[in-house]
Amino acid sequence: MPELPEVETVAAGLRPHLVGRRIVRVDLRFPTIVRHPEPEQFVDGVTGRVVEALTRRGKYLLFHLTDGYLMVIHLGMTGHLQLFEPDSDFAPHVHAAFLLDDGKQLRYRDVRRFGRLLFGTEDELLAHRAIPRLGPEPIDDAFTATDLYRRLHARRAPLKALLLDQAVVAGVGNIYADESCFRARVRPDRPGSSLSRPAVRRLREALQESLTTAIANRGSSVDSYRDAFGERGSQQERLLVYGRGGQPCATCGRPLSTIRLAGRTTVFCRRCQR
């Protein structure tokens, strides 16, 4: 699933081409990809509005439209959002196409259909639980170790499960949870509430380092992720533990261990992460 760095990369790539553009037509090829409101209302609401800004919140892309409305896109596990010339052929699994006033098309493609499209004001989307109330952005300067310590100590779930909980920290998924725990030298299976304040400070720094480095490298293309122009990221070539179970630890050389946590494959070093 695209995580914070991948979604940030897509937003940064699309922003110069979309801000100021009017959406003149919506071709909704797979209506159930719209989760709020009804598909017909989505098409009517989006059509004719100008994209005034494009931002990211957690793993969500937020298209700020005329009159305070939002079009929200979550890429799910295999969602791609790319710009095309209008006469280019449609690839399989393109579920929505947005024709812009400059003639280009923004197309949403999703093989596994776990993504979703939303439309409404922020208050409407929150009231209908179409989008969740998200935790702090871990790459923001305002994200402090004190806040993270309070959030981790509010529950006794394993650390990895808490990092995957979008209400605790927004935008972190399986890849960067594993990477951050390794950089912070903490076990992902220990209760989050057991971390000391120094360990939480290391974890906060590790989260920021893992995520900002991945953004600089345009995300991790470990599966199907591509940026807004169909290009692969390069962070997967620099991952320290994710996807490397059984391989030597980059620090001590011991084979990396693999377990299941929160339903996800988790890789860590038993020697370096005590």
Question: How much is the pLDDT for 88?
Answer: 87
Is 8 among the catalytic positions? no
- Quote the CA–CA distance of 249 and 241 in Å, as a whole number: 7
Say which residues have a Cβ less than 8 Å from residue 16's Cβ, sequence separation at least 6.
none
The answer to whether the 4-127 and 145-268 domains have the same CATH topology is no
5 an active-site residue? no
For residue 113, the model assigns a pLDDT of 87
Question: What local confidence, expressed as pLDDT, does residue 1 receive?
Answer: 78
pLDDT at 190: 96
Tokens (6 digits) for 263: 């339903």
Residues forming a β-bridge with 62: 55, 72
Residue 136 known to be catalytic: no
Specify the pLDDT at position 224.
Answer: 84
Do 195 and 151 contact (CB within 8 A), yes or no? Answer: no
Mean pLDDT by 10 residues, the chain (274 residues): 95 97 96 96 98 98 98 95 89 94 96 93 96 96 97 95 97 98 98 97 98 97 89 95 97 97 96 94
Q: Is 191 a catalytic residue?
A: no
Write down the catalytic residue from 15, 113, 264, 271.
264
Q: How far is the C-alpha of 271 from the C-alpha of 274, rounded, in Å?
A: 6
Structure confidence at residue 89 (pLDDT) = 87
* CATH domain 145-268 topology: Helicase, Ruva Protein; domain 3 (1.10.8)
Task: State which fold the 4-127 domain adopts.
Answer: N-terminal domain of MutM-like DNA repair proteins (3.20.190)
Exactly one of 59, 107, 151, 218 is catalytic; name it.
Answer: 59
Q: Compute the distance between CA of residue 179 and CA of residue 267 in angstroms, rounded to an integer.
A: 9
State residue 184 phi and psi, 5-degree precision. -85, -5
| pLDDT at res. 183 | 98
pLDDT of residue 244: 97
Per domain, the residue ranges of the chain are 4-127, 145-268
